[in-house]
Chains A and B, each alone.
Chain A
Amino acid sequence: MSFLPKPKFRHPAIETNDLGFSHRDYEGAISTLCAGCGHDSISAAIIKAVYELSLPPHRIAKLSGIGCSSKTPTYFLGASHGFNSVHGRMPSVLTGANLANRDLIYLGVSGDGDSASIGIGQFAHSMRRGVNMVYIVENNGVYGLTKGQFSATSDKGSKNKRGVVNTDSPIDMVSMAIELGATFVARSFSGDKGQLVPLIKAAIEHKGAAFIDCISPCVAFNNHEGSTKSFDYVRAHNAALNALDFITPRAPITAEYGEGESEIVKLHDGSQIMLRKIDASHNVHDRGAAMAAIHKHKAAGEIVTGLLYIDEEPVDLHAHLGTVDAPLNTLNAPELSPGQAILDRLNAALR
């Protein structure tokens, strides 16, 4: 498969954002995934989120591992640098990139094979370190590129296309992320753009480790009866805790909600999330409550979605390390090489 150019033609009256970019400026190459793939919906949601946030596309760096999901960064944000790295190792590459230049926005895209199997170690440690990033797992419970093997997020009892039943317990990535110290944890569904787009926006504005587990059915290998990651199954079992409206500092809050049905969550840059509570009892600021909600719904055979946990005052890796404000990749010899006079002193102390 060679590079597919996309026609540059656009409608002259196309809508633009605050920076004068249209959504076309945030698109990438034409997708080579299967028609109807959930991943393409996530790419579209990313494009919409970044467009609506009016972010300059070149200030985003998109990184991925290997697999169907990891191919998707080619299909959005064509004006951003992208890095399709090594299977399961996106988190470390992203961490290094982030250390080099703290000023860019880092978007890590991975899959359930990439992050829950081969890359579970790196996933875990990037959460622990609080790398400032948006980490999206496009979770379809199956290895797509190698044609349909179970992945580590496949539910026990789920059937593959040939009728084989999975006997291994699934890895629940949101539980792990919460446990490991991620400061923004959500689950969503590629078929629910209304929920996913504001979650991605909020995750981008969150200045810490933001993790979104996005169930994204594989139309080729995991969308059949008996699968717990099919469109039908997820729609039938989706238990949304909340829905979000992302509000930029400039936009007035217009929607009105009844007492106890909503909550305003303030983000670092002054923007806000209007949280419409579907489950009024869920407290998004409480790790324990988030874990309890996950377990409760899982026991009821439901897939809990929405914003599960947020720490409004996250501390990221750069803060832990105490690095300078200027990106490290902009420092040069005068700032970095101490010079001969200091070397003379060091030499003298070594005699």
Chain B
Amino acid sequence: MPIQSVNDFVVRFANVNGSGSASANQLFARSIMRMGVPVSPRNIFPSNIQGLPTWYEVRISEAGHMGARGNCDLLVAMNPETWGEDVEGIEPGGYIFYDSSRPVPKSAFRDDLTILGMPLTELCLKRYSDPRQRQLFKNIIYVGALAALLDIEIAEVEKLIGEQFKGKDKLIAPNHEALHIGYDYARANFECPIGVRVKRANAVGDNIFIEGNAAAGLGAVYGGATVCAWYPITPSTSLAEAFTSYCHRLRVDKDTGQKKFAIVQAEDELASIGMVIGAGWNGARSFTATSGPGISLMQEFFGLAYFAEIPAVVFDVQRGGPSTGLPTRTQQSDVLIAAYASHGDTKHIVLFPEDPFECFEMGAQAFDLADRFQTPVFVLLDLDIGSNHRLCKPLKWDDSRQLDRGKVMTAEELEAGKEFGRYLDVDGDGIPYRTYPGTHPKRGAFFTRGTTKDEYARYTELGAPYVRNMERLLKKFDTAKKFAPAPVQRKASRKTDLGVIYYGSTGPSMDEALDLLEKDGVHVDGLRVRAFPFANEVNDFIAEHDRVFVVEQNRDAQLRTLLMVECGIDPAQLTPILHYDGTPITARFIRKAIGEAINTATGGGRKETIG
């Protein structure tokens, strides 16, 4: 029986990298969104520019589930090389759309599939003589065919093409033509629509469609970053590039053409973080964007910034490690290296955005935190939210908001004789005052160093001032708990002694999984952690539940380790639920893993949670 589903299915495009499929696939996703139906697309791409297999997966979900689902209902098979595994990944009773210009033996299909063959290459050869056109329009032709098959309003696709080529109007008509070649062919040769289809809805609202990296880059603009030093690395590059592009639009003085920003593509990650720290020392808001290998390289500098107390913001768009690992796949495996970066005793503020909306918010807030606490702040995105478009709430900004520069002593205060000790805790919160270089002719200068010093920044190797300083740093870190984004609780529909802690891009899949578990009769309270150091609510949440699952996208249960160490939790109380094959975690996986964990522990069910 072919799958029947309206506004709830997955389409997977299997393409060849560099064939120009990306923009056509995005056109497909956007046109569904324009019909008021939420989509969540994902690029699955190799570390390659041309020739290797690449996939684009679009989850269509009127319910608004933004997490990956797993498998697909309709495969658009444009890459013979991956045919076998692609066909395997179709749900029972699914559909396959393929280029039938060359015969494919019946044995290559499955009996349960609905087969939709269309001679795409042949149609292109007939219509176009230029090889590049043949390739590019082939992609638009299949979008046209899919519009017919899935009942997507062709007018929405046409409108999007118009918007895309605004200013290059010559390209609109040929694209419309290609679209109709596909659309008309499908209507003439297949029974349209098929069992999975799109129906206009009103579930998108005023949500926006943006990549996390772009949102974080924009957050840095709004957060007042003026210096960006970076080194290209997948999947963080588009964050620095988005910052650059937004700055060129929003931060260039209209009269003079002068720029209110400085962006340097450095020679490596060491230089990137060095520049960020130099700029932070000198009072400019500065950041770098990188991924795991870059974080590894920057370690020595993080210790300096922690110990010398210099603000710095680091966006880490996580990918699969260790080493070069899975460079184009997603993971949450930099939690511990960020939290404890560098040699010696160090701890850092770490933020965990779940979607582009939070990438923007935390991208801006990170700069306030870095200045307030005079320390590096890590914003841990990952490839799944960083380099994929995601529907999220529209971005918002409070126009009355000022940049929180933290405790900076001014020339006037120094002139008035206010006592200045660079590492002196005058307010009891562990945060000392600093001065920007060049503030006052006679007062407030100090020597910054990574070596031990006393409260007045004077070099010393004595144990007592060293210990005082280290203890003050702990106090400062504790103060940060109240300023960092608070965790978000999600209560189960009935009282339960099961809890689950999760963070970052796991959010959407977890939300969906909790719904599914509720339907299974498994009630679990959720707590989405949004920052390290952990707020006291995290300890309370664990204390309130007999058993807490910690869902993560890494092998070693890194957040669980951090919870055990920092909150003093008995390991037996925290059950790891781990997904780390490089694909984004799914609600299906979480539901199954939590379900199994409960059954294993209780030998078949818990009366109080399974009803």
Residues of A within 8 A of B (CB): 1-3, 56-59, 61, 63, 73-74, 78-86, 89, 91-101, 103-104, 121-122, 124-125, 129, 317-318, 321-325, 328-329, 331-333, 335-340, 342-343, 346-347, 350-351
Does B445 belong to the interface (CB within 8 Å)? yes
For B207, give the chain A residue with the smallest CB separation: A351
Q: Is the CB of B279 within 8 A of A99?
A: yes
Q: Is the CB of A343 within 8 A of B266?
A: no
For A318, give the chain B residue with the smallest CB separation: B262
Contact A333 B403, CB 8 Å, known A3-B460, A328-B284? yes
Shortest CB distance A2–B (Å): 5
Q: Is the CB of B461 within 8 A of A336?
A: no
Q: In the complex, what distance in Å separates the CA atom of A300 from the CA atom of B338?
A: 54
Contact A322 B282, CB 8 Å, known A58-B438, A338-B250? no
The 8 Å CB contact of A328, one of B262, B267, B439, is B262
The 8 Å CB contact of B270, one of A82, A92, A324, is A92
The 8 Å CB contact of A81, one of B263, B401, B438, is B438
Within 8 A of A (CB), among B304-318: 304
The segment out of B82-90, B119-127, B389-397, B584-592 that lies at the interface is B389-397
Q: Is the CB of A351 within 8 A of B206?
A: yes
Q: Is the CB of B445 within 8 A of A96?
A: no
The 10 closest A-B pairs by CB, nearest first: A96-B278, A92-B274, A100-B284, A96-B275, A81-B437, A329-B283, A100-B282, A93-B278, A96-B279, A3-B458
Q: Is the CB of B441 within 8 A of A340?
A: no
The 8 Å CB contact of A61, one of B259, B437, B462, is B437
In the complex, which residues of chain B have a beta carbon less than 8 angstroms from the beta carbon of A92?
Answer: 229, 266, 270-275, 278
Does B545 belong to the interface (CB within 8 Å)? no
For B304, give the chain A residue with the smallest CB separation: A86
In the complex, which residues of chain B have a beta carbon less than 8 angstroms from the beta carbon of A2?
Answer: 458-462
Shortest CB distance A337–B (Å): 5
Within 8 A of A (CB), among B188-218: 204, 206-210, 218
Does B103 belong to the interface (CB within 8 Å)? no
Q: Is the CB of B258 within 8 A of A324?
A: yes
B250, B281, B461 pick with most chain A CB within 10 angstroms: B281
Q: A81-B446, A100-B226 are in contact. List 20 more A-B contacts (CB 8 A).
A: A3-B459, A63-B278, A80-B445, A82-B447, A84-B448, A85-B277, A86-B304, A89-B271, A89-B301, A91-B271, A95-B229, A96-B229, A96-B276, A99-B284, A322-B258, A328-B279, A329-B436, A343-B222, A346-B395, A347-B208
Between-chain CB contacts (< 8 Å), 25 pairs: A2-B458, A3-B458, A78-B445, A82-B448, A83-B278, A85-B274, A86-B274, A91-B274, A92-B272, A99-B227, A100-B278, A100-B284, A104-B438, A121-B270, A321-B259, A321-B262, A322-B258, A328-B226, A336-B251, A336-B260, A337-B223, A337-B397, A337-B401, A338-B250, A343-B395
Contact A1 B260, CB 8 Å, known A92-B270, A99-B279? no
Residues of B within 8 A of A (CB): 204, 206-210, 218, 221-227, 229, 250-251, 253, 256-264, 266-268, 270-284, 286, 300-301, 304, 394-399, 401-403, 435-442, 445-451, 454, 458-462
In the complex, which residues of chain A have a beta carbon less than 8 angstroms from the beta carbon of B450?
Answer: 84-86
B interface: dominant SS: loop
In the complex, which residues of chain A have a beta carbon less than 8 angstroms from the beta carbon of B224?
Answer: 331-333, 336-337
Q: Is the CB of A97 within 8 A of B279?
A: yes
In the complex, which residues of chain B have a beta carbon less than 8 angstroms from the beta carbon of A97?
Answer: 278-279, 281-282, 437
Q: In the complex, what distance in Å separates the CA atom of A343 from the CA atom of B398?
A: 11
Q: Is the CB of B279 within 8 A of A100?
A: yes
Q: Is the CB of A340 within 8 A of B266?
A: no
Q: Is the CB of A56 within 8 A of B441?
A: yes
Q: Is the CB of A89 within 8 A of B281?
A: no
Q: In the complex, what distance in Å separates the CA atom of A329 from the CA atom of B311?
A: 13
Q: Is the CB of B261 within 8 A of A95?
A: no
The 8 Å CB contact of B440, one of A58, A122, A129, A346, is A58
Shortest CB distance B64–A (Å): 15
Q: In the complex, what distance in Å separates the CA atom of A324 from the CA atom of B254?
A: 12
Q: Is the CB of A336 within 8 A of B396?
A: no
In the complex, which residues of chain B have a beta carbon less than 8 angstroms from the beta carbon of A331?
Answer: 224, 226, 260
Shortest CB distance A97–B (Å): 4
Q: In the complex, what distance in Å separates the CA atom of A59 from the CA atom of B436?
A: 11
The 8 Å CB contact of B459, one of A61, A74, A96, is A74
Contact A81 B227, CB 8 Å, known A100-B286, A103-B438, A129-B264? no
The 8 Å CB contact of A122, one of B208, B209, B271, B458, is B271
In the complex, which residues of chain B have a beta carbon less than 8 angstroms from the beta carbon of A323?
Answer: 258-262
Shortest CB distance B254–A (Å): 12
Q: In the complex, what distance in Å separates the CA atom of A187 from the CA atom of B272?
A: 29
In the complex, which residues of chain B have a beta carbon less than 8 angstroms from the beta carbon of A83?
Answer: 278, 281, 447-449
Q: In the complex, what distance in Å separates the CA atom of A103 from the CA atom of B401?
A: 28
Contact A93 B277, CB 8 Å, known A86-B304, A101-B437? yes
In the complex, which residues of chain B have a beta carbon less than 8 angstroms from the beta carbon of A343?
Answer: 222, 395-397
Shortest CB distance A104–B (Å): 5
In the complex, which residues of chain B have a beta carbon less than 8 angstroms from the beta carbon of A104?
Answer: 282, 437-438
Q: In the complex, what distance in Å separates the CA atom of A95 from the CA atom of B288?
A: 14
In the complex, which residues of chain A have a beta carbon less than 8 angstroms from the beta carbon of B442?
Answer: 58, 79
Q: Is the CB of A332 within 8 A of B403?
A: yes
In the complex, which residues of chain A have a beta carbon less than 8 angstroms from the beta carbon of B209?
Answer: 350-351
Shortest CB distance B268–A (Å): 7
Shortest CB distance A257–B (Å): 38
The 8 Å CB contact of B274, one of A61, A82, A122, A337, is A122
Q: In the complex, what distance in Å separates the CA atom of A318 from the CA atom of B261?
A: 10
The 8 Å CB contact of A57, one of B260, B401, B441, B461, is B441
In the complex, which residues of chain A have a beta carbon less than 8 angstroms from the beta carbon of B286?
Answer: 96, 99-100
Q: Is the CB of B218 within 8 A of A328?
A: no
Contact A58 B251, CB 8 Å, known A2-B462, A86-B304, A339-B397? no
For A93, give the chain B residue with the smallest CB separation: B278
The 8 Å CB contact of B260, one of A59, A318, A335, is A335
In the complex, which residues of chain B have a beta carbon less than 8 angstroms from the beta carbon of A125?
Answer: 266-267, 271
Q: In the complex, what distance in Å separates the CA atom of A337 from the CA atom of B440?
A: 28
Q: In the complex, what distance in Å separates the CA atom of A93 from the CA atom of B449?
A: 12
For A25, give the chain B residue with the smallest CB separation: B442
Shortest CB distance B175–A (Å): 20
Q: In the complex, what distance in Å separates the CA atom of A317 from the CA atom of B441?
A: 27
Q: Is the CB of B274 within 8 A of A89?
A: yes
In the complex, which residues of chain B have a beta carbon less than 8 angstroms from the beta carbon of A103?
Answer: 438
The 8 Å CB contact of A96, one of B225, B280, B401, B454, is B280
For A2, give the chain B residue with the smallest CB separation: B460
In the complex, which residues of chain B have a beta carbon less than 8 angstroms from the beta carbon of A325?
Answer: 258
For B257, give the chain A residue with the smallest CB separation: A322
Q: Is the CB of A333 within 8 A of B271?
A: no
In the complex, which residues of chain B have a beta carbon less than 8 angstroms from the beta carbon of A339?
Answer: 397, 399
Q: Is the CB of A322 within 8 A of B276?
A: no
In the complex, which residues of chain A have a beta carbon less than 8 angstroms from the beta carbon of B275?
Answer: 92-93, 95-96, 99
In the complex, which residues of chain B have a beta carbon less than 8 angstroms from the beta carbon of A1?
Answer: 459, 461
Q: In the complex, what distance in Å separates the CA atom of A324 from the CA atom of B273?
A: 23
A2, A57, A85 pick with most chain B CB within 10 angstroms: A85
Q: In the complex, what distance in Å separates the CA atom of A1 from the CA atom of B436?
A: 27
A74, A322, A328 pick with most chain B CB within 10 angstroms: A328
Q: Is the CB of A328 within 8 A of B260?
A: yes
Q: In the complex, what distance in Å separates the CA atom of A92 from the CA atom of B397?
A: 33
In the complex, which residues of chain B have a beta carbon less than 8 angstroms from the beta carbon of A324?
Answer: 253, 256, 258-260
In the complex, which residues of chain A have a beta carbon less than 8 angstroms from the beta carbon of B398?
Answer: 340
In the complex, which residues of chain A have a beta carbon less than 8 angstroms from the beta carbon of B222?
Answer: 337-338, 343
In the complex, which residues of chain B have a beta carbon less than 8 angstroms from the beta carbon of A85?
Answer: 274, 277-278, 304, 448, 450
Q: In the complex, what distance in Å separates the CA atom of A19 from the CA atom of B417?
A: 22
Contact A321 B263, CB 8 Å, known A74-B459, A99-B227? yes
